[in-house]
Amino acid sequence: MVNVQSEFLTFHDKIKLSEENQELRNKRDILLNKLRKNISDEAASFTTFNQGSYAMGTGIKPDDGDFDIDVGLKFDIDHDDYSDPVQVKQWVKDALDGHTKSVKIRRSCVTVTYQKDKEPIYHVDFAVYAANNADKQMYIAKGKEYSTEEYRIWQLSDPQELLNYLNSLYDDSDDRAQFRRVVRYMKKWKNQHFITSGNNAPTGIALTALACSYFTPYYSKDFLTNKKTYDDFKALKRLVNNIQNAFNLTWDSDDGCFYRTITQSLPVQPGNNLFEKMSNKQMNNFYNQISAMYSKLTEAEGKSKKSEVCQLMIDIFGEAFPAAVDRSYVGTSESA
């Protein structure tokens, strides 16, 4: 197969959401300043940290243009002293209300949305944590503004530990860089081939966790210089094959048939199954899509022209992947 590493790197540069995106940082900092200035005197003190794909370095530019950044707010409280976690989230909402037309308490965060021409262009998600607990654990506040009591809960969670976990997976920073590139490729593939509303598609964190379990760096090494030459195509293909093999046949009594299903635990607290919200049928569709991707990657390996390989990658990832034009020697002295 022809080498398309340079095309993959070009593709990666086009889709990646830089951790240094200045506009997102500005929105975050403006909101944090307002939060500190306006928060109720009754609220506890808090510290902040970045979380999510932005912090992990696995974010991609959204197809719909709605950029987001996740911010954690660690309140100096014991969750046992606040039976209603929404009360703590209300401190945040009240302080930010009116900054934009949309400040909402969602199940896992408080979301501030910026709009242009009535369309969302940025949103900042504030996840609220109780950080001073007797058991030394972190708890995230779950529940909406009008949720019934059963849906207002404190749940074990430590997103900073997830970042530490990712950073500890590989000693070599170049191995970690390839890991992050391949996760971004998977997220872009997801956006191209799934309806993302509801639970139809695997979440970004689910794809990241699958990569934690099934990704291994792929490179050749010059043993004289110790220099590594990375091959993202082969690393991606191996990951996709490993994910495909992780599915199991499950009998669905409601539909009266077998479906391919998968489980993947979050590698840190709370260790929940990241596919628990997907139905068996939705997971089976995930299997079909991942199998179709693997077939395309296998087909690409059999091609001898870069243009043909790149076209198959465009089928997988969309037009962001660069097309290639094969060199022609017709009309030159080399054509004789």
Map out the domains of the chain as residue ranges.
17-161, 171-317
Distance CA 300, CA 276 (A): 33
Label residue 333 by pLDDT band (50, 70, 90).
very low
3-state secondary structure of 133: coil
Residue 243 φ then ψ, to 5°: -65, -45
CA distances from 208 to 57, 105, 220 (A): 11, 26, 24
Contact 129, 139 (CB under 8 A): yes
Label residue 68 by pLDDT band (50, 70, 90).
confident
Query: Which residues neighbour 148 within 8 Å (Cβ) at sequence distance 6 or greater?
Result: none
Label residue 120 by pLDDT band (50, 70, 90).
low
39-43, 158-162, 227-231: least confidently modelled range: 158-162
- Verdict on whether the full-model pTM lies above 0.85: yes
Does position 181 have pLDDT exceeding 60, yes or no? Answer: yes
Domain 17-161 of CATH type 3.90.1300.10: no
User: Among residues 192, 197, 78, 60, which one has the least CA distance to residue 133?
Assistant: 78
Return the higher-pLDDT residue of 327 and 45: 45
User: Among residues 170, 175, 166, 207, which one has the least CA distance to residue 293?
Assistant: 207
Place of tokens 């049928």: 281
pLDDT at 63: 81
pLDDT at 54: 80
- For residue 270, whether the previous peptide bond is cis, meaning omega lies within 30 degrees of 0, is yes
pLDDT at 330: 46
Label residue 198 by pLDDT band (50, 70, 90).
confident
Which uninterrupted H or E stretch holds 317?
Answer: helix 306-317
Label residue 20 by pLDDT band (50, 70, 90).
very low
Contact 82, 137 (CB under 8 A): no
Distance CA 141, CA 139 (A): 7
3-state secondary structure of 49: strand
Does position 23 have pLDDT exceeding 80, yes or no? Answer: no
Average pLDDT over residues 286-293: 98
pLDDT at 334: 39
Average pLDDT over residues 134-144: 96
Average pLDDT over residues 232-256: 97
Percent of the chain with pLDDT over 70: 95
pLDDT at 332: 43
Label residue 21 by pLDDT band (50, 70, 90).
low
Inter-helix orientation angle 173-193/204-214, to 10°: 140
Average pLDDT over residues 207-212: 97
pLDDT at 335: 35
Average pLDDT over residues 321-330: 77
